[in-house]
Structure 1
Amino acid sequence: MALISQQISKIILLKLFLQIVLFIFPTLSAANVSLFNLRENSMHEKINVTDVRSSYLNSIKFFKYNYPKDHWAIDYTKAGTSIAHVKLKGKYNYSIILNPTDCRGYRTIIRYLNDSNSDIPSALNRPYTVAEERGLNEVTAMMERVYEKMGLIPQFAQLGNNSHSFDEKTRETIIGNEEEPGMLHLHLWGRGDPEHEFIAGVPLRGPKPGLMFDLIAKSKTEPTNQFAIKWDPKELEIALAAFKDMLSLYLESDEFKEEFSDSLEVSIDMTKAPSIECL
């Protein structure tokens, strides 16, 4: 009798076990389906995010305008502060000039002009290729060495704010306007003791190290937002000659020959600094 009771108990337990298994597996299947659907929804949401991102890219518009030949963006040496012209790999052209409107930090502007098969207007108000942008960075790397040899810490910024505007109605960003076209360029300057003459006869000026260098500063009261300082004609002449001399010396260095000579062809601009009437 005891043996029969044990067998009956086992049968009852097995029956309960089978009921539990049948109850659990449909639940797991449903859970798996729900999890799969959740993943599908998550993937669908990511696609939506991509669509939104693409729509924002499409909202960037480029200003269409025929700039006259005497416009400063076309006649890029017009201000008379040109330091050098650089050709990258025999194709891409770049200019290096002293900023004609602000002497702080011995600020220079490095700009992509065009490739050898097109004119300067073709490089305005448009997106740029990787090769064009990479070339800008290579020319900048060369000029950073010049600032360092002066005893300065080089800093640079690629901005273009003056050519940007925003349409509140269409939510579009417009690049370029009649005064300033969108163009691939950056500003490079040196940091150090603002009162020291890293170029003899020309104080560095600008904010003290550790403070932000504001390129379009207009306030004369905030020390962290120091206003732009116009060039003194004599100091401009000295600084322009110094940059040309320093760059010429660097072109003869072993470092330049090793790092840049296979890609950069540099021509120093021998034009003298302009008179005060030209600024």
Structure 2
Amino acid sequence: MALISQRVSKIILLKLFLHIGLFIFPSLSAANVSLLNLRENNMHEKIIVADARSSYLNSIKFFKYNYPKDHWAIDYTKAGTSIAHVKLKGKYNYSIILNPTDCRGYRSIIRYLNDSNSDIPSALNRPYTVAEERGLNEVTAMMERVYEKMGLIPQFAQLGNNSHSFDEKTRETIIGNEEEPGMLHLHLWGRGDPEHEFIAGVPLRGPKPGLMFDLIAKSKSEPTNQFAIKWDPKELEIALTAFKNMLSLYLESDEFKEEFSDSLEVSIDMTKATSIEYLPTISQ
């Protein structure tokens, strides 16, 4: 009887195992199909996203205009705030100037001008190459060191808002206009105690550390949105001299020779600051 009971138990267990197997394997097959469909759906979704991105990029238009030679974007030193000219790898040209319309944070503008085989207008209102953008970053890295040696925390922004507009009908973004072309450039400034003279005779000004530095601020009533402050002519002359001296010293440093001398050729602008011709605020 015991033997019969054991055999019956084995048969019951075998049937149970077969039922479980039949239940599991169809589920696995269905799961495989579901996974395959999921992969196909994901591939399809990626294709859609790629197509949408390509279509969106085609909606960016560049303004076509022949800027006169006396336009501030062409005659970029006319404001009298030029610090230096930089050539990258003997080909790409960049300018460094103090922002002529805002002295907060000793704000400067670093801009790509052109390559040695073309003129300045050729670099306006167009997309830029990796080499041109990388060069802007390298010149900026050099100038960050100058701000740091003044005891400041450097910050920068690459924006261009003043040259951008949007057509509600066509849903196109237009880069450039008659007043301000699209240019590859960025704004660099220092953060610290706004009342301290990191340059003797010139307070830093600007918002206190921890608050946003709003480049396009126009409201005098909001303390976190401090309005732009025009240069005092005497302070501008002092600041220009200080930046040129600090940059000159840095060019002689071991750090510059090790990090930048094989790629950057820097020419200090020795022109003294003249009467300031206040220009439109260059692209925010």
TM-score normalised by the chain length of structure 1: 0.90
Deviations 1:104-137 (A, max 9, x none): 1111100000110111111111111111111111
CA contact (8 A) 2:100 2:276 kept: no
Structure 1 pair 17–225 and aligned structure 2 pair: CA distance change class (3 A): closer
For residues 225 and 19 of structure 2, the distance between their equivalents in structure 1, rounded to whole angstroms, comes to: 77
> 1:7 deviation in Å?
8.2
For 1:113, the equivalent position in structure 2 comes to 113
> 1:15 deviation in Å?
7.6
Deviations 1:153-204 (A, max 9, x none): 1111111111111122222211111111111101111111111111111111
> 1:268 deviation in Å?
0.7
Name the SS for the 1:196 alignment partner: coil
How many residues were matched structurally? 277
For residues 201 and 10 of structure 1, the distance between their equivalents in structure 2, rounded to whole angstroms, comes to: 99
Structure 1 pair 22–95 and aligned structure 2 pair: CA distance change class (3 A): same
For 1:173, the equivalent position in structure 2 comes to 173
Structure 1 pair 12–139 and aligned structure 2 pair: CA distance change class (3 A): closer
> 1:20 deviation in Å?
6.8
Structure 1 pair 11–272 and aligned structure 2 pair: CA distance change class (3 A): closer
> 1:245 deviation in Å?
1.2
Deviations 1:11-49 (A, max 9, x none): 898788767756764554344223312321222122112
Tell me the C-alpha RMSD between the 2 structures: 2.3
Structure 1 pair 2–58 and aligned structure 2 pair: CA distance change class (3 A): same
- Segments of structure 1 that go 5 or more residues without pairing to the other structure are none
Deviations 1:77-125 (A, max 9, x none): 1111111000011000000001001111111100000110111111111
For 1:11, the equivalent position in structure 2 comes to 11
Deviations 1:50-84 (A, max 9, x none): 21122222222111111111111111111111110
For residues 200 and 23 of structure 1, the distance between their equivalents in structure 2, rounded to whole angstroms, comes to: 84
For 1:61, the equivalent position in structure 2 comes to 61
Structure 1 pair 272–17 and aligned structure 2 pair: CA distance change class (3 A): closer
Name the SS for the 1:156 alignment partner: strand
For residues 11 and 111 of structure 1, the distance between their equivalents in structure 2, rounded to whole angstroms, comes to: 85
Report matched runs for 1:77-226 at 5 Å.
Answer: 77-226=77-226
For residues 276 and 9 of structure 1, the distance between their equivalents in structure 2, rounded to whole angstroms, comes to: 102
* Greater mean deviation of Cα atoms: 46-55 or 239-248: 46-55
* Greater mean deviation of Cα atoms: 224-233 or 18-27: 18-27
TM-score normalised by the chain length of structure 2: 0.89
* Greater mean deviation of Cα atoms: 250-259 or 100-109: 250-259
* Greater mean deviation of Cα atoms: 13-22 or 151-160: 13-22
Structure 1 pair 254–22 and aligned structure 2 pair: CA distance change class (3 A): closer
Structure 1 pair 15–203 and aligned structure 2 pair: CA distance change class (3 A): closer
CA contact (8 A) 2:105 2:189 kept: yes
Name the SS for the 2:224 alignment partner: helix
